[in-house]
Amino acid sequence: MWSADKYNSGPFDRFSLLIPYCLDYIRWDVIFDAESPNAAPDVIFGPEDDHFHPFHMLPSPESNNNCLSDWNYKDPSRLLTLIQFLRDQYVLYQRKRVEEVDDERLKFEISTILSREGIEMYTGSNADKLEEVKFAVPLLDMNINKMVSCCPWRYSQKIYLQVVYPVGRKYTSVPSAPRLKLVSSPELKALFSIDDVKLPSWVDGMKATFLCTSGVFTFLVHFMIPTQFPKQQPAVMLQSSQHFNSQMAPLKSRLISDYPWSPRWEPLQMAERICEFLADEALNFKRQCSEGQVQ
């Protein structure tokens, strides 16, 4: 806290706030006017957020009323309501900035996670020199507080997946892999730390596996996801859950990459075209397994 009058030690009418955001903090200065205590405060955002205009993002001017237009200095909840509103607008502001980043892989990943609640995103201030985009993804759809007897916490505890995407490096032929880390809320970290939990590296050829059925035929579908996904399509391999070779190893198809794909398709169309292909390929694979044409 400090005073606007640096020489006469006037009343402290301004202070700084560290706002938790995207597993880090943003600093805002809240400035009241000691000579006009009835007036609403000014809020000064950080220098990296020059283009953040929270009230310009609202659908209509009437939306401002609850925060500033009818400011009541006697209501102790008004300042908290204002800060919460500004933070909510900042979440939308940062999401819009991330969506504007010219990176096809990032755009695809965003389209797959927007339905999840509580995700926060962050970019730097200079789009021309942007090097990374950060995500904070809350994990575990369970109440951690109820898992701890005599829970001392006032607020709900969370575990997050932090994902840092390198972007904007046009001179590299192969994009760098995202960095992954688990992060817990400070109160939870004081009880037990997850810093030692090692996540697998995001490497070229990461695998995603799904259990599928076609009639009574049960099989696994393995997707080998390249670092340049979705510009480069995943390779696919089918594995039977019902057919085995002489060494009792499950029968597998060849690695398939000659199926319909375009990086210009929307994610939903990509998924639909893969499903259509797999519906036909599953019948061929079942026949090949039954006739002993695969190993």
According to the model, what pLDDT value does residue 192 have? 73
Q: How far apart are the first and last CA of the chain?
A: 73
Distances (CA, A) of 123 to 46, 58, 239: 13, 22, 41
According to the model, what pLDDT value does residue 249 have? 87
Confidence of residue 86 (pLDDT cuts 50, 70, 90): very high
According to the model, what pLDDT value does residue 103 have? 81
According to the model, what pLDDT value does residue 106 have? 84
Distance, CA of 282 to CA of 219 (rounded, Å): 8
According to the model, what pLDDT value does residue 239 have? 93
Q: Indicate if the pLDDT at residue 105 is higher than 60.
A: yes
Distance, CA of 134 to CA of 163 (rounded, Å): 6
Give residues with Cβ within 8 angstroms of 122, minimum separation 6.
21, 22, 24, 94, 98, 133, 134
Contact 19, 25 (CB under 8 A): yes
Burial of 251 (0-12, 13-18, 19+ CB in 10 A): buried
Distance, CA of 34 to CA of 44 (rounded, Å): 17
The DSSP line for 181-226 is EEEE-HHHHHH---TTPPPPP--TTEEEEEEEEETTEEEEEEEEE-
Q: Which of 131, 127, 97, 99 is nearest to 113 (CA)?
A: 99
**pLDDT tens, residue by residue, 206-221:** 778 888 888 888 999 9
Which range has the top average pLDDT, 52-56, 62-66, 125-129, 134-138? 134-138
According to the model, what pLDDT value does residue 67 have? 73
Contact 174, 198 (CB under 8 A): no
Q: Please, what sign has the CA dihedral across residues 154, 155, 159, 161? A: negative
Lowest average pLDDT, out of 107-121, 233-247, 249-263, goes to: 107-121
According to the model, what pLDDT value does residue 157 have? 80
Q: What percent of the chain has pLDDT over 70?
A: 84
Q: Which of 57, 26, 229, 17 is nearest to 120 (CA)?
A: 26
Using alpha carbons only, what angle is made at residue 76 by residues 71 and 81, rounded to the nearest 5 degrees?
65
Give residues with Cβ within 8 angstroms of 119, minimum separation 6.
113, 135, 136, 137, 138
Confidence of residue 156 (pLDDT cuts 50, 70, 90): confident
Q: Give me the residues paired with residue 135 across strands.
A: 121, 163
According to the model, what pLDDT value does residue 4 have? 56
17 token code pair: 């706030």
According to the model, what pLDDT value does residue 60 have? 55
**pLDDT tens, residue by residue, 141-155:** 667 777 777 777 777
Q: Indicate if the pLDDT at residue 87 is higher than 80.
A: yes
Q: What's the pTM value of the predicted model, to 2 decimals?
A: 0.69
Residue spans of the domains in the chain: they are 2-95, 102-191, 206-290
According to the model, what pLDDT value does residue 66 have? 58
